Structure 1
Amino acid sequence: AIPSMAVLGLVWAYILSPLGSGVLNSVLDATLGVGPVPWLSDATLAKVSVIVVGVWGGVGWHAVLYLAYLQSIPSEYYEVATIDGAGSWKQFLHITLPLLTPAMVISQFLLMTGGLKVFDLPYTLTGGGPGFETYTITQSIITMGVGQGRYAVASALAVVFTIAVAALAVGQLLLSRRIERRVL
């Protein structure tokens, strides 16, 4: 089972705690003698931490997607290419890469839409801080609507955000189809 990003955020908030009691800081202190690193209280390190945890949390799913597409490529293609004298680089360029294009399109689409609507990871990992450095648009929409009771503003932001995400998604799909036609 894949844990939710909110759970990952809570676990990694404990690991990356900027205090000396954080797991990573304890290990760094015990092994290298390095003092507490402000992983979640420094603006740059907080952004990097959110990105690294997000990538770490999603890489497994995308690896399974690519593996499934790789396993669906018939081995006969490679056998014929080998008989025709194609080396491993040419086989990769002319067989593997074109047949992985649909997986890349799906992966990029999911990464883009997921990245735009991210809420749970930065919220549980940093609370949007330090300051507003890791505060996202979706956090703003939810905080305004649920936390502050400003439903009209939150609804308007949500509609504008949905239109922007839809425009980006359509643009990405059109570009991906153009690339797929060229590669395949």
Structure 2
Amino acid sequence: MKLKKELPYLCFILPAFLVYTVLMLYPMLQAVGLSFTDWKGVTFENLHFVGLKNYLDVFSDKQIIISITNTVVYAIAVPIAVTILAIPLSVALNSKMKTSNIQRAAFFFPSVPSALVLGFLWSYIMSPLDYGLLNRMVTGLGFDPVLWLADPKMAMVSVIVVTVWSQLGWHACIYLAQLQSVSEDLYEAARIDGANTLQLFFRITVPQLKPAMVTSVMLLMISSLKVFDLPFALTGGGPGYATTMISQVIIQRGFVDKMYGRSMAAAIVFFLFVAFITAIQQKAGAEKE
């Protein structure tokens, strides 16, 4: 009886479930199976079962280890930097000035173009050659040009800075939406008790923004862990492996090196790692709430 009552709703869900199964679930299950083989792509002829060899090779592949380290560093640095900057920015954008809408649009705009477009744009701006805008400014001030994208120590910092610049406005708007739901009575009561601006910010604003913070940090961390386009457009993963991300290595192992088994094994290992991090983050967010 209960199934008969819910049947119309299940019929509405069925098309989406079929699409998900064909486009997502089946390829994922196929990838798990092929990760235990030496598949070279195109055809399934001469396919051999190799057991856990691909998974063992993942942990002995120097480029994969470096790329995982780079990805983790990137996924930690970007959420921290964006959160630290986006919360004060959202407070500033919450002002009652006549130009507040223009300011919000200006800060939100960098998140509109695709990451590839932004990457190529900033690769010209940060170019170590004479036409690089930043180095023109640096040399114009009498300093030596900086190898923003050619120095291994500066390349990752540059990629993180560009990412923060592109994501800052969007996440400031997330905090702004939460901030506009905070009652003004809380601030008025605190001012009557003698609270100053810093106390208002840390005792009222920041605690009230915790739900938005959980959402923002989770979005930033997940997108940072699977990032490919922006670092690739900026540096191509170089110099050396300084900005190579795990997604780039997975694609390279499969489509360039024709080592699809190892590529899928690396993808599955990293998928489990991301799922583990996401579960911890969701649990931490639920406990805070």
**TM-score, structure 1 normalization:** 0.88
Asked if residue 112 in structure 1 is aligned to residue 221 in structure 2, the reply is: yes
Within 5 Å, give how 1:14-93 maps onto structure 2. 14-29=124-139, 31-83=140-192, 85=193, 87-88=195-196, 89-93=198-202
Give the counterpart letter for 2:266 in structure 1. L
Tell me how far apart the structure 2 counterparts of residues 62 and 23 of structure 1 sit (CA, whole Å).
27
Cα RMSD for the two superposed structures: 1.8
Deviation, structure 1 residue 113 = 1.0
Q: Equivalent residue for 2:117? A: 7
Give aligned pairs, total: 178
Contact persistence 1:19–1:38 (CA under 8 A)? no
Match of 1:138 among 247, 250, 253: 247
Q: Matches of 1:92 and 1:38 in 2, distance apart?
A: 38
Q: Deviations over 1:33-57 (max 9, x none)?
A: 3333211111011111111111111
Q: Deviations over 1:97-156 (max 9, x none)?
A: 222100110111112111111111110100010011110111101122223332221111
- Cα distance in 2 between the residues matched to 1:129 and 1:61: 28
Long gaps (5+) in structure 1: none
Q: CA deviation at 1:96?
A: 2.4
Aligned to 1:175: 284
Tell me, yes or no, if structure 1 residue 158 matches structure 2 residue 267.
Answer: yes
Matched, 1:124 2:233: yes
How far apart are the structure 2 equivalents of 1:131 and 1:93?
Answer: 43
Larger radius of gyration: 2
Higher relative contact order (CA 8 A, sep 6+): 2
What secondary structure does 2:209 align onto?
Answer: helix
Q: 1:15 to 1:93 in 2, by over 3 A?
A: closer
* Structure 2 unmatched runs, 5+: 1-108
Tell me, in whole angstroms, the C-alpha distance in 1 between the residues paired with 2:128 and 2:240. Answer: 15
Give the TM-score of the pair, scaled to structure 2.
0.58
